Structure 1
Amino acid sequence: MTIKLNVKQRAAAVGTLRFVSVFLMETLSRWIPATPEMEVKMLFSRHVWRMAQQADRLGRRARELRAPLHYSRKPQPAFADALKQLAALSDTIDRVDGFHVVALPILAEHYRAYLAETDKVTDEPTTMICDQALLEIATMIEERATWGDEIPPSRATDSDALRQLKQAFANAKDMIDYTEPAAARPAAARA
């Protein structure tokens, strides 16, 4: 049996996934009061709860991986910039599509990538959290589609803002930084 990721790497991944979950939850929370359509507000509200559940499970798991309780770790800079672009969207359709068509599928890709990298036996609690998150992501994407006429449909062609967002996430290949923070490395290693 080969253990693919060590405990620190697992904690880094869990912390990064938690950071992204919290960021998405907070972004949705900021969008709700600024969104005029009641149905979209309701949809975003449901998703805030789902993202909060993911963040909570990841935060508790971080402690089990010898990181602080509710540990969050920023993603790679290009990925963080793409998240900021998502948060800056102001049009309702761009927000709905930016979250459901762009951000959620990319987050799901990173959960699947983590599952491919970790050992399913020694890291079973995290794999169970990832599997649950993937189900919730699929549910959120499905809710966007099944709410039908109540949610504004996507445009036939993407707006400039949505095209730029897709490109920003495409350019951000990696989300998780597995290197140890400088403060955590021994003094000899920093020299």
Structure 2
Amino acid sequence: MNRVVIDNKGIPPLAGICSYEEACKPGFTVDQSVNLLKRFNFIAKNLNQILSAHLAAVPEWEVKCAFGYHLWLDAEHSAAIRKRVSEMREPPLHLDQDPDEQLRIWLDEAIRAENTVELLTGVYRVIRPEIVKALSQYIGNMNKMTEHPTYRLLRGMLQDEEEMIAWGEAALAALMDSPEQASIAEQWEAHLRAFLLAAGGVSGDLDAVVCEAIPRSDGQRYEMDPMPRRDERFIDPYNTSAKIDSYFWDENCSPEERAYSLIYKRLREMDVPEWMGPILYKTEGKPWEYYTDLSRQLWDETRHAMLGEIGLYFGGVPFYKYPIHMGSSVILNTEFSPQEAHLILWRIEQSLMPKHTGKQKEWEIAKDTNNPISLLIQDYDWADEVLHAQIGRKWLVPDYGSLAAMTESGDQAMKAWGQANVKTADWSEQAEWWPQFMEEIRANELARKG
């Protein structure tokens, strides 16, 4: 019931955010809001870590792609919440501490999924739906005017979460192709929900129930599996017979061969997110901005691999039909420290900055091939890599004292990596495949023109 009739000249009042009646609801106090935001932040942070820890080991390409995207969204959500909390009479201190011991135990179980079905069930059938439920409840009860910045933040998070859940449910439906897989999902969901009830739900507003489920966690930090994997569609992953890094430079190669060598080079970039996942998960104690920056870079590199996937689709070839080398991530993940792996990544990207030998030259080559997809891919790849080189300098220079010292260490790490990489060549018969690939590309082009 309206308290008074207001003459707004027919113009929606209060900037269209809500009605007068809605603006009069009590909503949440600042302290209540901060406490809830800290719980949301803790879950977003842990989701970023769960996906980082598993990205390399999950064998399904499409799951790797989604993890690369979603862990960046989780990092962004955490960063936005941290900023909002800092605006609410609460300095952003202690945001990395556990707001609730039972909440930590719940997420500690979720990261211990033992296969892709369990992992997707935990993240997309339990954790994210519970976040959506808590966000929706918060938005429904809040005063949208008094804490409008929070409303706007949570509304965006809610949309992201709903879109991620939709992907996860579709992926689960595809992977649960037997009663055994469906049973695995059902049992893992029940297991995690038991721990969630012990935490009183995401918002902590439910009566806690004693959890009788036997935990997988031993209370120690989860030890991730760093070994990259690809599923049965992918063949000969250590084959380096095709000199993909050379063909596009060779002016004796046809324009189409130069274009598709660049496209294939982008496809091969899946090894970068596979080696960045362990960097993100294993590196502890950095400011959250570090994890946000590296999550963005990981997503960009994932996107580059997907752009290569699209480029091969444009050429009429399934992206998994020919070898995609993964020896780099295998060696970096198993024989180098996270800091060494990050340093090598930066050194590679820094070497791509010179005008006549780096990303600009790759773009010029793509332009000359008259392949519109190759050109579009290279245009954005160039822009992204400039950002990535800056990210590396931002976070690594302080560790080495100067750019010169970092460059020297990077050169040494690159040399050690090159020597270690040699062993993966023996893991393949190195059968030549590039001519067959290009023959298929040319045949498809002729068929389209015909």
Pairwise TM-score range, normalised by the shorter structure: 0.7 to 0.9
Instruction: Report the secondary structure of 1:156's partner residue.
Output: helix
Give the distance between the partners of 2:103 and 2:149, measured in 1 at CA. Answer: 26
**Residue number in structure 1 paired with 2:182:** 156
Instruction: Report the secondary structure of 1:33's partner residue.
Output: coil
**Residue number in structure 2 paired with 1:12:** 35
Shift of 1:86: 0.5
**Residue number in structure 2 paired with 1:79:** 103
Shift of 1:145: 4.2
User: 8 Å contact 1:22–1:52 — kept in the other structure?
Assistant: yes
Give the distance between the partners of 1:5 and 1:126, measured in 2 at CA. Answer: 11
Task: Answer with 45-54 or 109-118: which moved more.
Answer: 109-118
Compare relative contact order (CA 8 Å, sep 6+) and give the higher one, 1 or 2: 1
Structure 1 residue 63 and structure 2 residue 90: aligned? no
Deviations, residues 41-69 of structure 1 (Å, cap 9, x unaligned): 11111110111121111111111112223
- Identify which of 79, 83, 98 aligns with 2:122: 98
- Identify which of 88, 94, 99 aligns with 2:112: 88
**Residue number in structure 1 paired with 2:54:** 31
The change in CA–CA distance for 1:95 and 1:148 in structure 2 (over 3 A counts) is closer
Report % sequence identity.
21
- Identify which of 163, 167, 183 aligns with 1:139: 163
Could you tell me which amino acid in structure 2 is paired with residue 126 of structure 1? T
Q: Give ranges in structure 2 of 5+ residues lacking alignment.
A: 1-23, 206-450
- Identify which of 179, 191, 199 aligns with 1:172: 199
Could you tell me which amino acid in structure 1 is paired with residue 76 of structure 2? Q
Shift of 1:13: 1.5
Give the distance between the partners of 1:131 and 1:170, measured in 2 at CA. Answer: 25
Deviations, residues 4-51 of structure 1 (Å, cap 9, x unaligned): 322122122112211110111111111112222222111111110111
Q: Give ranges in structure 1 of 5+ residues lacking alignment.
A: 179-191
User: 8 Å contact 2:176–2:182 — kept in the other structure?
Assistant: no
Give the distance between the partners of 1:67 and 1:137, measured in 2 at CA. Answer: 26
Give the distance between the partners of 1:163 and 1:174, measured in 2 at CA. Answer: 14
Structure 1 residue 118 and structure 2 residue 142: aligned? yes
Could you tell me which amino acid in structure 2 is paired with residue 9 of structure 1? Q
Shift of 1:139: 0.8
The change in CA–CA distance for 1:35 and 1:144 in structure 2 (over 3 A counts) is same
User: 8 Å contact 2:130–2:202 — kept in the other structure?
Assistant: no
Shift of 1:147: 5.6
Instruction: Report the secondary structure of 2:182's partner residue.
Output: coil
The change in CA–CA distance for 1:20 and 1:122 in structure 2 (over 3 A counts) is same
Could you tell me which amino acid in structure 1 is paired with residue 119 of structure 2? R
**Residue number in structure 1 paired with 2:65:** 42
The change in CA–CA distance for 1:81 and 1:140 in structure 2 (over 3 A counts) is same
Give the distance between the partners of 1:142 and 1:161, measured in 2 at CA. Answer: 19
Could you tell me which amino acid in structure 2 is paired with residue 168 of structure 1? F
Instruction: Report the secondary structure of 2:27's partner residue.
Output: coil
Give the distance between the partners of 1:129 and 1:65, measured in 2 at CA. Answer: 14
Instruction: Report the secondary structure of 2:62's partner residue.
Output: helix
Shift of 1:75: 3.9
Give the distance between the partners of 2:94 and 2:111, measured in 1 at CA. Answer: 22
Instruction: Report the secondary structure of 2:175's partner residue.
Output: coil
TM-score (norm 1): 0.80
Deviations, residues 136-161 of structure 1 (Å, cap 9, x unaligned): 01110122345688x62373323533
User: 8 Å contact 1:75–1:175 — kept in the other structure?
Assistant: no
